[in-house]
């Protein structure tokens, strides 16, 4: 067996699913925490001459998860792995992809540089936040996996069960940054309705206010689609605005369920009919949130790219 996959924190079920599909070994990892706050991560499995896959999102605690990835990558390189491949479904720091105030770092670029110089040959992520992030990765082959066929399959079945015709469905981007995602989903569903774009103003971090709507949603069943749900405030404000403008119903879909602060409170409202996310972050979610499995996408990516 010349392929082995490691999961460091969580994603145990996801790693096993990928391993089963591709005939991989699931590796064993040891993490040691020292009294001074330092840590060490190493492989307990033989990786010599093997293709190694390290599965780890950089969600909270983002810095610790990031550091564990690069330590395990180095451990495997030192143990003479053939190649190391990073699978980072949720790429934390992605929303810090630009400098917006004086003296700010470009944190996203810094993290991309760290991973680019980890000794890994490739890195695969699910729906990176902004296209500019592609340019931050050097010395490593990056794949940004587009997940919208998962959402397409989900919504075809969802609206069928609700006896709602797809002709009445409209995809909504909660801001201009989500425009590409909205078009991808709309096209995959074969919708003829124009994508609706909301304009928002963010006065400070983790606060947003939806100000305007570009498009007609009267008598439409709306899907708000985005890459990340964090506080849930933007989505909640958007849903209320759509209904005020005459929408029949509002569903919410997102790749990464960060769900910080009071997100569940904002999203678990009578004016939001359904919430669906991907299992890119390993955490427990309430039962009313539906979760789609990314394992088939990751398997497909490994096979398609011969990694």
Active-site residue set: 200
Cα 286 to its chain centre, rounded Å, is: 18
Number of H helices, E strands in the chain: 8, 15
Which two three-digit tokens encode residue 188?
Answer: 């995959």
Q: Mapping DSSP to helix (H, G, I), strand (E, B) and coil, where does residue 204 land? A: coil
Three-class DSSP category at 252: strand
* Contact of 209 with 203, CB cutoff 8 Å: yes
Classify 141 as helix, strand or coil. Answer: strand
Cα(105)–Cα(182) distance, rounded to whole angstroms? 30
Q: How many CB atoms lie within 10 A of CB 201?
A: 11
- From residue 200, alpha-carbon distances to 95, 214, 239 in Å are 16, 11, 13
User: Parallel, antiparallel, or unpaired for β 209-214 and 196-201?
Assistant: antiparallel
| Phi, psi at 5, each rounded to 5° | -120, 135
Cβ contact 266:231 at 8 Å: yes
Total number of residues shown for the chain:
307
């Amino acid at each position: 067996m010349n392929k082995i996959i490691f999961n460091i924190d969580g994603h145990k079920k996801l790693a096993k699913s990928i391993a089963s599909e591709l005939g991989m070994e699931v590796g064993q990892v040891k993490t040691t925490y020292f009294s001074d706050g330092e840590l060490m991560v190493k492989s307990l499995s033989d990786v010599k001459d093997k293709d190694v896959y390290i599965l780890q999102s950089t969600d909270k605690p983002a810095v610790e998860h990031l550091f564990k990835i690069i330590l395990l990558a180095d451990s495997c390189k030192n143990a003479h792995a053939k190649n190391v491949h990073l699978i980072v479904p949720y790429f934390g720091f992605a929303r810090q992809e630009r400098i917006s105030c004086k003296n700010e770092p470009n944190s996203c670029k810094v993290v991309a540089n760290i991973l680019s110089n980890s000794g890994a040959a490739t890195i695969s992520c699910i729906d990176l936040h902004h296209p500019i992030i592609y340019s931050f990765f050097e010395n490593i082959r990056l794949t940004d996996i587009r997940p919208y066929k998962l959402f397409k399959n989900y919504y075809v079945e969802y609206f069928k069960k609700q006896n709602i015709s797809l002709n009445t469905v409209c995809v909504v981007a909660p801001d201009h940054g989500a425009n590409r995602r909205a078009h991808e989903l709309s096209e995959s569903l074969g919708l003829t309705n124009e994508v609706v774009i909301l304009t928002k103003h963010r006065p400070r971090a983790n606060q947003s206010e939806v100000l305007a709507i570009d498009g007609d949603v009267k008598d439409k069943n709306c899907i708000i689609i985005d890459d990340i749900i964090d506080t849930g405030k933007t989505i909640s404000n958007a849903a209320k605005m759509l209904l005020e403008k005459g929408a029949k119903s509002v569903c919410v879909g997102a790749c990464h369920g960060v769900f910080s602060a009071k997100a569940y409170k904002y999203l678990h409202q009578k004016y939001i009919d359904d919430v669906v996310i991907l299992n890119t972050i390993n955490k427990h979610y309430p039962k009313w949130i539906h979760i789609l499995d990314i394992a088939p996408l990751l398997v497909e990516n490994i096979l398609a790219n011969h990694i």
